[in-house]
Amino acid sequence: MFGGPVPLLSPAQPIPGGPSVDPLHGSFRSSIRREHAEDAARRARDLLTDDVLGRLLTTPREPTTQVPHSRDVFVNRNLRMDHVELIGFDMDYTLAIYHMRRLEQLSFDMTLAKLISEYGYPPFVGGLLYDHHFVMRGLAVDRVNGNVLKMDRFGHVGRAYHGLRPLKRDAWKELYRNKRVRLRNPQFAWNDTLFALPETCLYSGIIELMESLGHTVNYGKLYDDIREAIDTVHRDNSLKREIRKDLARYVFLDPELGPALHKLRSGGKRLFLLTNSAWDYTNAVMRYLLDGQLPEYPSWRNYFDFTVTAAGKPAFFTEARPFLELDSSTEAGKVVGEAKSLERGTVYSGGNLAQFEEFTGYRGEHILYVGDHIYGDILKSKKASLWRTCMIVQEIEDEITYTDQRREEIVTLSEVELTRARLDDEVNHRKTVLNSLERRLEREELPAAERQEVEELRKKTKAELEKLRRSLKETNGIADTLERDVEEGFNPYWGLLFKEGNENSRFGYQVEQYACLYTSRVSNFLHHSPMQYYRSPRDLMAHEQAGALSSKMSPMGSEGPPKGSLEKE
CA Rg, the chain, in Å? 30
197, 220, 209: which is closest to 131 by C-alpha?
197
Q: What span, in angstroms and rounded, lies between the C-alpha atoms of 81 and 131?
A: 41
3-state secondary structure 111-170: HHHHHHHHCCCCHHHHHCCCCHHHCCCCEEEECCCCEEEEEECCCCEEEEEECCEECCHH
3-state secondary structure 251-284: ECCCCCHHHHHHHHHHCCCEEEEECCCCHHHHHH
Q: Tell me the pairing of strands 147-151 and 157-162.
A: antiparallel
pLDDT tens column, 346-376: 999 999 999 999 999 999 899 999 999 876 6
pLDDT tens column, 410-469: 999 999 999 999 999 999 999 999 999 999 888 888 888 888 998 999 999 999 999 999
User: Phi and psi (nearest 5°) for 67?
Assistant: -100, 130
What's the pLDDT score for residue 217?
A: 95
pLDDT tens column, 74-95: 999 999 999 999 999 999 999 9
Q: Tell me the pairing of strands 323-326 and 147-151.
A: unpaired
What's the pLDDT score for residue 117?
A: 94
On the question of pLDDT at 22 being above 70, the answer is: no
On the question of pLDDT at 382 being above 90, the answer is: no
CB-CB contact of 83 with 267 (8 Å): no
What's the pLDDT score for residue 27?
A: 62
Residue type, 275: T
The CA-based angle 279-285-286, given to 5 degrees, is 85
On the question of pLDDT at 136 being above 50, the answer is: yes
Residue type, 8: L
Residue type, 252: F
348, 346, 351, 386: which is closest to 369 by C-alpha?
386
What's the pLDDT score for residue 568?
A: 45
Q: What span, in angstroms and rounded, lies between the C-alpha atoms of 295 and 284?
A: 19
Sign of the alpha-carbon torsion through 186, 353, 394, 240: negative
**SS3 state of residue 557:** coil
| Helix, strand counts (H, E) of the chain | 18, 19
On the question of pLDDT at 13 being above 70, the answer is: no
- Mean pLDDT for the chain overall: 89
Could you give the angle at which helices 219-235 and 197-212 cross, rounded to 10 degrees? 140
Q: What span, in angstroms and rounded, lies between the C-alpha atoms of 535 and 555?
A: 10
On the question of pLDDT at 316 being above 50, the answer is: yes
Q: What span, in angstroms and rounded, lies between the C-alpha atoms of 473 and 471?
A: 5
What's the pLDDT score for residue 61?
A: 74
206, 288, 252: which is closest to 100 by C-alpha?
252
What's the pLDDT score for residue 85?
A: 97
Cis status, amide bond into 314, omega within 30 of 0: yes
CA-based max dimension of the chain: 105
Domain 69-96+251-393 falls in which CATH fold?
Rossmann fold (3.40.50)
> Which strand ranges, in their side-by-side order, compose the sheet holding 139-142?
165-166, 157-162, 147-151, 139-142, 188-191
* Residue 324: HSE in the Cβ half-sphere, 13 Å Cα cutoff: 18
Q: What span, in angstroms and rounded, lies between the C-alpha atoms of 372 and 95?
A: 10
pLDDT tens column, 232-265: 988 888 999 999 999 999 999 999 999 999 999 9
Q: What span, in angstroms and rounded, lies between the C-alpha atoms of 86 and 361?
A: 10
